[in-house]
Amino acid sequence: MRHIRFVLTCLAAFATVSCTEALEEIATGADGEITVSLTSDGDCRPHLKSAVQEEEVPAGEFIVEIFKTDGNVRLYRDTYANTENKAIKLNGGDYRLVASHGDPDRCGFDAPYYMGEEMFTVHAQTHEEVHVTAKLANVKVAVEFGEHLVLDYPEHYAVVRSDKDCSLEFSAGEERTGYMPAGNLSLELYAKIDGEWKYYASEPEEYSPNDFVTFHVDTKEGEGSLSLNIKVDDSVELVEKEVEIPQSMLPKEAPKMTFNGFGDSDVIEVVEAGETPESLKIDIVADAGIGHCILHINSEYLAGIRVPAEIDLVSVEENVAEILKDNGFDWRGIMQGQRLAYIDLTGVAEKLASEVYDDANPFKAEISFEIEDSNGKKSAESQSVTIAALKPEFSFSAVQTDAWARSIRGMEISYANLNPAVLKLQYKAAADGEWQDAGLSSDSGSVLSFNNISGLTPETEYQLRAIYNGNEAAAVQASLTTEAAAQVGNSGFEEWQTSVFEFTYNFFGKHEQNVDWYHPWSSEETDIWWAVNSRVAMPSSTSVASANWNWVRFPTVAYTADAADGGNAAVIYSVAVGDWTTNISPGTSHAGELFIGTADDSGNHSSEGHSFGSRPDRLEFMYKYDSNGGETFFVNAELYSEDGTVIATASTDSGSASSSWLKFSLPFQYTDTARKAARIYVSFKSTSASEPSVTGNKVITIADNAQYTGNFG
């Protein structure tokens, strides 16, 4: 069996894009299969002194492709990460396996390209293994500036140029190695000699994939010439070439322009406070010296500040030059007769990024360049570039349901074409106060989501704004008013009213009996919130007489002076009552309940809830609980919208025992935050049990410290 293996040589760390393509043709009929595995070998090339230590490319980032040998039909393409240990079925026959990583046509210091190729045959009903070695498939390039050159001419740099329309600049002191497509390469040396920039070029030489070319450039001591020494390491042999470049050599080709930093696009858009290219530079070489450097400018913005549509930088007027420089343009000061020059637009982009976007008069300039040398030759290139300010785009809105009593929630800003780091949500009280930033929760890449804005004052108008880079003129504003911090009526259960309940009993005739019971509202109250289910244990008549009427009829809810902070508190308890009831044989037990709503004469709910216009975070109360038989108490709260939809609940059936006052905090769980609250319902029950347990002859203290003995839970 054969396994596909890749031995990787001279790997460097850089990012690739993982991609997968469907099979063009898959095995049918008589087929075999192959399995892909991958190893790397980082010591496959001798290390040169000028080489920078490289990092290994992750094997999983390599692209694996399989082709038919009788054509260019690709049968398989995927990353090695998705291919490893995968059995790939193929028809019997001959195939070509290719492993690659990188871009073969790119020049750069971080642009190695690796490729390996292997022919293999698949036999029907067999499992094959294939070995492939992926080697550096472009040319590795370094430039060494010699000691005498560095001392004699401190201002220098070199450009290695490929016949594949790309080049690589090595500035003075550059120690990195670069990568270029295989083919013809030439070196151009630029040095400032006696105050003037001179240009020297080597003849193009052809270099093969996997070559390591080192251009060593130096002056010869005591001689008026430069020495160019070229070393080629192809991992097999070392080839040395030496070229003498006299200082008088001045190529007289037509002027050339090299556009650096513009990439594949001729349009550079810059957003306020955004990133800018490291360099937007046009390098000019005119072997016969520059005669004219003409800019053709199409720009309403620049025309509006008196910049002509055509400018010759060789003889630009002083006031025009000042305007251009104020707007970020830069160029070599004296161009007339110079062989080397540049036009640098980097400052234009930086200025646009540093300024507030002007929606009424945005910057946009289309610029084309024309170079003519002293002999009248014009540059062959015809290229224009456009630099424009890009408008930051963002949107923000807020609706009244986003405003709660003490917070504003759910705020988001959608955006495009901007730097989200300087896009802020700010808020302040409308009447006074300073703008404050809301805390950022997350950034999806197109939407900023913000934390709840808390600590606000109820029933107060607040202003909010989405603001980019501090530009108040372009801010998007909204206004919200927080809800009232509504509280349920008689929330501390301070107010009570005592009523006398009269009932009859038949014992050798009809007789009257009464019992006190308690309502959670004052006698003057007209807006009653709470009700009790006491009548469930207080029917209107009975056929017995009792030695202890508390066994027969007794309310389930009362008040007590044993409160957490003085005053009164509600006391809710389970009661067992009924005819012929004693402490030995308690009657039917009932859980006490205190709830928002109304109750009928049987203790049942005749209505539930009360109008309520706030959306609280939680239900909180102080409690003590004497558990009977290990039972737990029950609490349930619900918020309703105007149409009766439940929008939030807070509930527990596991309230535990406590002999001292404790705070109980129950958070509301909201299922709909887009609706306002219109009504609230709350219920407290003495037990969660369906059949409450009671203790016979238990003594409880309620009302004005009165003690009662009965069957209580």
Instruction: Spell out the residues 6+ positions from residue 180 whose beta carbon is closer than 8 angstroms to its own.
Output: 107, 111, 138, 139, 141, 160, 162, 164, 166, 168
Residues 35 and 113 reside in one and the same domain:
yes
Q: Are residues 229 and 297 both part of a single domain?
A: no
Query: By residue range, what is the domain housing residue 334?
Result: 256-390
Q: What is the CATH number of the domain that holds 169?
A: 2.60.40
Split into its structural domains, the chain has a count of: 5
Q: Where are the beta strands (DSSP E) in 469-574?
A: 476-481, 497-506, 510-519, 530-532, 541-542, 557-560, 569-572
Instruction: Say if residues 348 and 355 touch (Cβ distance below 8 Å).
Output: no
Of 117, 136, 155, which residue is a domain's last?
A: 136
Q: Are residues 426 and 457 in the same domain?
A: yes
Beta carbons of 159 and 187 less than 8 angstroms apart: yes
* Calpha distance 438→457 (Å, rounded): 16
What's the CA gap between 489 and 491, in Å, rounded? 5
The reported pLDDT for the residue numbered 488 is 96
> Which tens digits make up the pLDDT trace of 582-615?
777 777 899 999 999 999 999 999 999 999 999 9
Distance CA 7, CA 44 (A): 9
Judge whether 84 lies within some domain: yes
Closest CA to 352 of 309, 312, 426, 299: 299
Q: 31-36 and 127-128 as β-strands: parallel, antiparallel, unpaired? A: parallel
698 shares a domain with 555 = yes
* Residue 211, helix vs strand vs coil: coil
Whether residues 642 and 557 fall in one domain: yes
pLDDT computed for residue 153 by the predictor? 84
Q: Is 349 helix (H, G, I), strand (E, B) or coil?
A: helix
- Structural domain contains residue 251: no
Do 527 and 571 sit in the same domain of this protein?
yes
The pLDDT value recorded for residue 615 is: 96
Q: Can you say how many angstroms the Cα of residue 102 is from the centroid of all Cα atoms in its chain?
A: 28
Over the chain (713 residues), the average pLDDT of each successive run of 10 is 26 30 41 66 33 61 89 86 87 89 93 90 85 86 89 90 93 94 92 79 89 85 54 49 46 82 90 95 93 96 97 96 97 94 97 94 96 90 88 97 96 97 98 95 98 96 98 96 95 96 76 90 95 93 75 93 93 90 79 98 96 95 95 98 98 96 97 96 97 93 92 92
Asked whether residue 81 is domain-assigned, the answer is yes
Q: Residue 473 domain-assigned?
A: yes
Q: What is the mean pLDDT of the chain?
A: 86
Which long-range contacts (C-beta less than 8 Å, at least 24 apart) are formed by 67-74? Answer: 67/95, 67/96, 67/98, 68/25, 68/93, 68/94, 68/95, 68/96, 69/93, 69/94, 69/95, 69/96, 69/119, 70/94, 73/24, 73/25, 74/21, 74/24
What b-and-e string marks burial along 376-404, b requiring 16 or more CB atoms within 10 Å of the CB?
A: ebebebeeebbbbbbbbebebebeebbbb
At 94, list the tokens: 């001959």
pTM as predicted: 0.57
Whether 185 maps to a domain, the answer reads yes
Q: What are phi and psi of 302, to 5 degrees?
A: -70, -35
Q: In the structure encoding, which two tokens stand for residue 214, read together?
A: 């080192």
d(CA 378, CA 539) in angstroms, rounded, equals 113
In a domain, 489, yes or no: no
Per the CB < 8 A criterion, the answer to whether 572 and 682 are in contact is no
Is the domain of 62 the same as that of 122? yes
Q: Are residues 673 and 544 in the same domain?
A: yes
Same domain, 379 and 401: no
**Tokens (6 digits) for 470:** 């501090």
Q: Which tokens go with 330?
A: 């830069």
The rounded distance, in Å, linking the Cα atoms of 611 and 618 is 18
Classify residue 298 as exposed, middle or buried by CB count within 10 Å of its CB (0-12, 13-18, 19+). Answer: middle
- Domain endpoint, select from 390, 405, 432: 390
The tokens for 134 are 């992926």
Last residue of a domain, one of 136, 151, 179: 136
> Mind listing the pLDDT tens digit for each residue in 27-50?
444 477 887 665 544 333 332 333
Answer yes or no: is 492 within a domain.
Answer: no
Contact of 695 with 713, CB cutoff 8 Å: yes
* Measured CA distances, 495 to 244, 422, 519 (Å): 109, 55, 9
Residues 100 and 161 in one domain: no
Let me know if residue 368 belongs to a domain. yes
Confidence at residue 324, expressed as pLDDT on a 0 to 100 scale? 98
Kindly give, in sequence order, each residue whose CB lies less than 8 Å from that of residue 220, ignoring residues fewer than 6 positions away.
148, 226, 227
Rg of the chain taking only CA atoms, in angstroms: 44
Give 119's contacts (C-beta < 8 A, 6+ positions apart): 69, 94, 95, 96, 97
CATH code (residue 409): 2.60.40.10
Residues 241, 284: one domain? no
SS (H, E, C) 572-633: ECCEEECCCCCCCCCCEEECCEEEEEEECCCCCEEEECEECCCCCCEEEEEEEECCCCCCCE
pLDDT of residue 251: 40
- For residues 213 and 147, membership in a common domain is answered with yes
3-state secondary structure of 476: strand
